[in-house]
Amino acid sequence: MIEATRTIHLVLGAASGIGKATAEAFAALGAMVICADRNREGVEATAAETGGETYVVDAGSSDEINGLASTIEAKYRRLDIAVTTPAVHVRKLMCDYTDEEYDRVADLNLRGTFLFLRAFGRMMTRQRGGSLIASSSVRATTLEPGLAIYGATKAGIIQMVRGLASEVGAFGVRVNAVVPSIVDTPLVAPLKARPQIWNALAAHTVFARWSEPSEVAAAIAFLACDAAGYITGSALLVDGGWTAIDGAPSGLTKTHAS
């Protein structure tokens, strides 16, 4: 049994990218981190690095998510923070999407997030406290051709977060989403071989660069901590100014002191 003074944090998607960085951030803050992912090798590596526990779980499986919740509740009696990050997208024009491609994207991104929020929302309601954090995207509000289905799932996540927050707040449970733009993770490695596209996307931010997973993880850590105790039903932008500007920034970059 973990000592009562140590908080218990769950990260689903801990094998790589934002999830891995989040597990690392939580461990650095002294939490006991439960690392879950369907990638056994990756999640075991993260757990070894953070001193946490490993669970191999399919984020799209109701039975496995419910089983994970039951296992954690039985072992620890309480879960302080639960974060979910897994997502997939098929970049393809909407009229060219197949049924199978739609199901693949919607089942993991939207249904998978629902399964997670439902399972751990129930647990936190019973324990009368906790913080749930889901991962959305700026594609919930800004799109380009080929991202309609992905964007729809990410918009749906924000609405689920708001809805659940309204339902569980009376039990002391907070529910929020983090909303990144472009993040340099292993999943986007092929774009690095196409500098024109890589740089064009970077130019949509005011910093003209991609974010690091650790920068998104820092925002998640903030939403998880007591300093964010009055924040719920929120979608926190971590987008480098992507949604603040219309297209790439202009060349007017100099500052002038009077």
Enclosing domain of residue 62: 8-183+212-236
Please write the tens of the pLDDT for every residue from 13-50.
999 999 999 999 999 999 999 999 999 999 999 999 99
- The predicted structure's pLDDT at residue 257: 46
Rounded (10°) CA dihedral 165, 235, 135, 78: -40
131-172 tens-digit pLDDT: 999 999 999 999 889 999 999 999 999 999 999 999 999 999
Q: Catalytic pick from 55, 76, 102, 150?
A: 150
Looking at residue 6, what is its pLDDT?
83
pLDDT of residue 256 exceeding 80, the answer is no
Q: Does some domain include residue 155?
A: yes
Report if residue 106 sits inside a domain. yes
What is this structure's pTM?
0.92
- Looking up residue 79, the CATH number of its domain turns out to be 3.40.50.720
**251 in any annotated domain:** no
User: pLDDT-derived band of residue 2, with 50, 70 and 90 as boundaries?
Assistant: very low
Q: For tokens 């779980």, what's the residue?
A: 57
Tell me whether residue 68 is in a domain.
yes
Residue 232 lies in a domain: yes
Q: Give the C-alpha distances (Å, rounded to integers) separating 145 from 93, 142, 197.
A: 6, 11, 15
Is 76 contained in some domain?
yes
Tokens 């324990």 locate to 127
pLDDT at 255 over 90: no
Residue 150 among the catalytic residues: yes
**Structural domain total, the chain:** 1
User: Would you say residue 242 lies in a domain?
Assistant: no
